[in-house]
Amino acid sequence: MSEPEILFDRIGHAGVVTLNRPKALNALTHDMVLRMAEALAAWESDASVRLVLVRAAGEKAFCAGGDIRRVYDMGKAGDPAQRAFFADEYRLNVRIKRYSKPYVALVDGIVMGGGVGVSVHGSHRVGTERTTFAMPETGIGFFPDVGGSYFLPRMPDQTGMMAALSAGRLKQADALWTGILTHAVASADLDALTQALGEEVDVDAVLARFAARHDAGTPSLAARAPRIAELFGKPSVAEILSALDAVAGKASDADADAEWAGGLAAAIRSKSPTSVLLSFAQLRRGGEADFEACMRLEYRIVSHILQGHDFYEGVRALIVDKDNAPHWSPATLADVSEDAVLAHFAPPEGGDLDV
């Protein structure tokens, strides 16, 4: 008999969720989403539960995203449940964002995509030295969803825009500095921290005590923050790339940013052109919207993107055939029309997401 994909338990006065697909990097399935939403609803009205803890089995990943291969297969088969998965996942994100009790995510290992959705919106996000955050969606012809519209543009100095367009990764110190994490602790302390949170009343005091025992190091992004803000605050992707190319073109030993800028420009150009332009427009809109509006926006986008080409091509290249040679359509940023981008923001067939 196979192990359950998600486990629910009590440790003292804490309701504990354990993502339990370590061999699949704890990727979220539709059933996991539905069961987690049900548990959160029950615990929110249970006076004996003072907080919720979310953790994951295994040491490699907290959650590497949604089960994209399953979504791909459903799309290829024309399964209408494909879009229902995203609707329920986005509703779960809203529940977490608005949860009335402390919601503590213990992020140990890789956290990407859907894993970010069940952690970053919680009141407390605790990461270890093994934490690696990323929103890699532009590399598979998708977009930074699960609330990316909301939290990415609110990261400091346009670091969220940089991460979204380039699919860049942040380690513990940078995730803490940008606000992805609220606390940094040592992975060796997680068991003791979990027990303390279940036994003690003051969540903030417990987390502060464990965080004081761990040095996350110096965030690498902090020193480059003014330049990141300047480069990624440009009014278009074309102008961002032009500015990055200008920095990269200096290519002198005196300018340590030259190689860094060149790497970012190359990374952005390797992603789906449609996804890059769509993500840029998405984040600009999301920066001015409340959370529920962002989730409705993302549901519109996903409803359209699942009917397109690049998502299926990106998943084929990265996960199915693993040739890492996607053939994007359109193939270049210049070939993507403004109308094609704007079409993703139109209400989908069947109406907007009810959140």
**Catalytically annotated residues:** 66, 114, 137, 145
Could you give the 3-state DSSP secondary structure of residue 75? helix
Contacts of 202 (CB under 8 A, 6+ apart): none
Q: Which two tokens stand for residue 91?
A: 């509703």
Matching residue, tokens 């990374």: 267
DSSP secondary structure code for residue 201 in this structure:
S
The C-alpha atoms of residue 320 and residue 305 are separated, in whole angstroms, by 19
Torsion-angle region of 158 (φ positive above 0: left; ψ -120 to 50: alpha; else: beta)? left
Q: Which two tokens stand for residue 153?
A: 């543009």
Could you give the 3-state DSSP secondary structure of residue 169? strand
Contacts of 31 (CB under 8 A, 6+ apart): 5, 6
User: Measured on CA atoms in the order 212, 215, 216, 217, is the torsion positive or negative?
Assistant: positive
47, 32 in Cβ contact below 8 A?
no
